[in-house]
Amino acid sequence: MPFTERSESTRTAIVSTARRLFADRGYQGTTIRAVAAEAGIDPSMVMRYYGNKEGLFAAAVDIDLGLPSAADLPRDRIGEAIAGHVLRRWEGELADELIILLLRSACTNETAAEQLRQVFQRQVLPLVREISGDAPDADRRAALLGTQVIGLAMCRYVLRLPSMVAMDRPTLVASLAPVLRHYLLGDLDRDLDGAPRP
Amino acid sequence: MPFTERSESTRTAIVSTARRLFADRGYQGTTIRAVAAEAGIDPSMVMRYYGNKEGLFAAAVDIDLGLPSAADLPRDRIGEAIAGHVLRRWEGELADELIILLLRSACTNETAAEQLRQVFQRQVLPLVREISGDAPDADRRAALLGTQVIGLAMCRYVLRLPSMVAMDRPTLVASLAPVLRHYLLGDLDRDLDGAPRP
DNA sequence: CCACGGTGTCAACCAGCGTTGGCCTACCCT
DNA sequence: AGGGTAGGCCAACGCTGGTTGACACCGTGG
């Protein structure tokens, strides 16, 4: 292997191992020593390349949800589209354990929590604004959508509630789609099953 | 202070401090030394009374959601009732930071995750079964309800998404009630805003 | 060929952690 | 009154983790 490329290869070995361990064990549960050991290199290399543990974490967690733009979403099946995208991103073809890692870590690590807030602010909120046609309650809609999606991730991937793990993907998409659609486009002051509020 | 009561008072001092710190910093982020220091006693007392850190955690996290029975819930406003109960339990009159603590800790601590699964299994699932009249899809309904409620807790109390923190309680109840009602009693294969699925 | 810069290793430091055992002290019981 | 017991504190151990610095290695460029 050429000399100049060796650095790059160990860099990626470190960061990809770090992603896995952070995802498995959270921020505090992951040790630099463990990352180095599993990557087959010395702990001091981690320090050299990433400065400190926070630096490694920041390098490992660089999230792009890869959300489509509003124009590419079928308006009449928007719930299915969002739910499908989300699940593809977590357990399907585009699977990226980074997002779950970030969620896990954000529970006990303020840096991670802030990073997650940024992801929401910069990627989710704009999309919801676009979808809802810059409705004045777009913030509220985005927040509600966030609760449902994050709750799904928590129950299925982090807590692994048996009832949640047992559901297959299509059923999940079908179950969540109406709610997501409701949060995005529905009448928030009306019942979801057709009956108007008293 | 009488001799025999002194023990009890430091016991409760320890465990209540532990609750707060665990809630703030998670399992690994909380140190016995810190608990002892904030409680104004010696770390070794914690060991004497609770054996070890796991024991302290178990003592600190003993959750009773205090869910009402199905008979006491108004069927036509079941969503509002559940949402209201949940929020009262977290930030209202019955506020109990233990639940949030457990949720936070469960992200990185398998013991806590298991405990949370038990809470779901033993307290949430039976109620949902009762409400849904032992419907065959009660598990699915309970799981979906779980995602929404846990997602709410995560976004509002753990991640503190600004859009979520900003909403007042009545608005929150009104926004969530239709979805909760839908998961409990609605037609899961039908859109929430009145339009039947194609 | 040989110095130089970047790659990698080794050993150690230092702080913080959970945990332990010994000790003092204050109370209760006889 | 006095001995036993339980509450409480102190100092220390062993360990692990992040971090550091010195040193060996290897290509490349002069």
- pLDDT tens digits for range A73-82: 999 999 999 9
Q: What does the pLDDT read at residue A7? A: 78
Residue A40, pLDDT score: 93
The total of other beta-carbon atoms located within 10 Å of residue A24's CB is 15
Smallest CA-to-CA distance from B162 within A105, A110, A120 is with A120
State whether the beta carbon of A160 lies below 7 angstroms from any atom of strand C. Answer: no
Question: CB–CB of A78/A185 below 8 Å?
Answer: yes
pLDDT of residue B196: 46
Q: How far apart are CA B134 and CA B160, in angstroms?
A: 36
User: What are A92-114's pLDDT values in tens digits?
Assistant: 888 888 899 899 888 888 888 99
pLDDT mean across residues, chain B: 91
Contact present, B86 and A133 (Cβ < 8 Å): no
Is the pLDDT at B198 greater than 60, yes or no? no
**Residue among B28, B106, B140 minimizing CB distance to A159:** B106
For nucleotide C21, the protein residue with its alpha carbon nearest to C1' is B44
Average pLDDT over residues A23-48: 92
pLDDT, tens only, B41-81:
999 999 999 999 999 999 998 899 999 999 999 999 999 99
Whether residue A42 is predicted with pLDDT greater than 80 in this model: the reply is yes
User: What distance in Å separates the CA atoms of residue A154 and residue B144, rounded to the nearest whole number?
Assistant: 12
Give me the count of residues in chain A: 198
Q: How far is B129 from chain A (nearest CA, A)?
A: 13
* Mean pLDDT score, A31-47: 95
Residue B1's pLDDT band (cuts 50, 70, 90): low
**Rounded to a whole number, what is the distance in Å from the CA of B73 to chain A's nearest CA?**
18
Percentage above 70 pLDDT, chain B: 92
Whether nucleic acid strand C comes within 7 Å of the CB of A15, the answer is: no
Strand C–CB B44 distance below 7 A: yes
The residue written with tokens 């967690």 in the block is: A61
pLDDT digits (tens, 9 = 90+) for B104-150: 888 888 888 999 999 999 999 999 999 999 999 999 999 999 999 99
Percent pLDDT > 90 in chain A is: 74
What is the number of other CB atoms lying within 10 angstroms of the CB of residue A181?
Answer: 24
Q: Per-residue pLDDT tens for A137-175?
A: 999 999 999 999 999 999 999 999 999 999 999 999 999
Say yes or no: B120 contacts chain A, CB-CB below 8 A: yes
Q: Which residues contact B164 (CB under 8 A, 6 or more apart)?
A: A143, A146, A147, B152, B155, B156
Instruction: List alpha helices for A40-96, DSSP H.
Output: 43-50, 53-60, 78-91
Nucleic chain D contacts, protein chain A, residues 80-139, CB cut-off 7 A: none
Closest CA to B131 of B57, B70, B61: B70
Average pLDDT value over all residues in chain A: 91
pLDDT of residue A92: 87
Is the CB of B166 inside 8 Å of chain A's CB atoms?
Answer: yes
Q: What is the reported pLDDT for B158?
A: 93
Q: Which residue has the higher pLDDT, B5 or B151?
A: B151
Can you give the pTM of this predicted structure?
A: 0.87
Record the tokens describing residue B11, joined without a space.
């016991």
Flag whether pLDDT at B29 surpasses 50: yes
